[in-house]
Amino acid sequence: MSRGPAFGRSLAVLILIVVAAAIVAGPEICGVLRVFTQPRDGCTFAEAAAGGWNLVETLLHNDVFFLTSRIIERDPAGYVLWRTAGGDYWAPAGDYSLFYVLAELELEPYDEGRRDLLQGKTVLDCGAHLGVFTRQALEAGAARVIAIEPGPQQVYCLRRTFAREIAAGRVTVEAKGVWDQEGQLELAAGPDTARWSFTGLATGKTVTAPVTTIDRLARDLSLGPVGFIKMDIEGAEPRALAGASRVLSDDRPALAIAAYHRPDDQREIRAAVRKANPAYRVFQTGCRVDLGVSVPLTLMFE
């Protein structure tokens, strides 16, 4: 069947949109075009193409958040309070990772727009960073959010941003990482606070940080049933899930797990969850396309 002139016009419009986005978003977006030639691991061509467009949108929204935000308070210790369209957040002065995370979670929310996943639940925000998902969970009606973050700068900001919620018992900040055992680990702490890592994925100075297991944390905090776990911890996800076997088995919380940091993450994450509880159903949302291969962005388990 002939596709006719309408198809040709649609293709031309699509090409113009991609070119215009590349011009507006900056030269780094040219890497998005690699989705047409790079390998795919767990993403169809259509999913990878959608992931490429999502990256364009995220970069554009990042710029919009930055340009429409302003500093409303400064802390002599080296922190600033940003007023953004997504709320007020404390952040280290000179660190602009907040705006990318705001853009990312606006377009690809961990709850996939389903308030029932969070409403009335105890939520673990593993890798809380500066608190964007913590706020999303509160606004969606979470009963309590445990913001788990090992970075001292991030913890300082979380405690200031959510001071009222902490006082009301709705937010608890845990200054630890999650792992498969308790102890102390070296945390690579580069200039981008969203990328601090226990697994060698960040560069720069290191700080020693405590780690615990999700099972131990749930017991120590007397959490009761955990309803939702979000996890974006720079490649440590399989190790952290191995330390959550009791919670996954007994509580079966919904899970939203970042799956793109390391080549085998998606397979190791699936294996860790199913080892703890074979009853989980899994589906993926989004594709990450700027790492040289198109891979799932988030694995969702219910």
pLDDT per position as a tens digit, 141-156: 999 999 999 999 999 9
Q: What is the pLDDT of residue 2?
A: 44
Pick from 107-111, 187-191, 259-263 the range whose average pLDDT is largest: 259-263
pLDDT for 159 equals: 98
Number of independent structural domains in the chain: 1
Q: How confident is the model at residue 26 (pLDDT cuts 50, 70, 90)?
A: low
In a domain, 93, yes or no: no
User: Does 193 reside within a domain?
Assistant: yes
Predicted confidence at residue 190, as pLDDT, reads 81
In a domain, 166, yes or no: yes
Q: Is residue 289 part of a domain?
A: yes
> CATH number of the domain that 262 lies in?
3.40.50.150
**Rounded to two decimals, what is the model's pTM?**
0.88
pLDDT at 6 over 70: no
Greater confidence, 3 or 32? 32
* 185 touches 243 (CB < 8 A): no
Judge contact between 186 and 84, C-beta under 8 A: no
Q: How confident is the model at residue 1 (pLDDT cuts 50, 70, 90)?
A: very low
Q: Could you read off the pLDDT of 61-98 as tens digits, one per residue? A: 999 999 999 999 999 999 999 999 999 999 999 999 99
Q: Which domain holds residue 224?
A: 110-301
Nearest to 95 by CA among 199, 210, 189: 189
Listed residue (262, 86, 229, 103) closest to 161, CA to CA: 86
Return the H-helix or E-strand segment holding 255: strand 254-258
Q: Identify how many contiguous H helices and E strands the chain contains and give both numbers.
A: 10, 13
From 28-32, 76-80, 100-104, 126-130, the region with the lowest mean pLDDT: 28-32
Please tell me which of 13-17, 41-45, 243-247 the model is most confident about, judged by mean pLDDT.
243-247
| Predicted confidence (pLDDT) at residue 5 exceeds the cutoff of 80 | no
What percent of the chain shows pLDDT beyond 90?
76
Beta-strand ranges (E) seen in 68-192 are 70-75, 79-84, 87-92, 122-126, 144-148, 171-174, 177-178, 183-189
Flag whether 287 is in a domain: yes
- Within a domain: residue 64? no
Q: 250 in a domain, yes or no?
A: yes
250-273 mean pLDDT: 96
Is 70 part of any domain? no
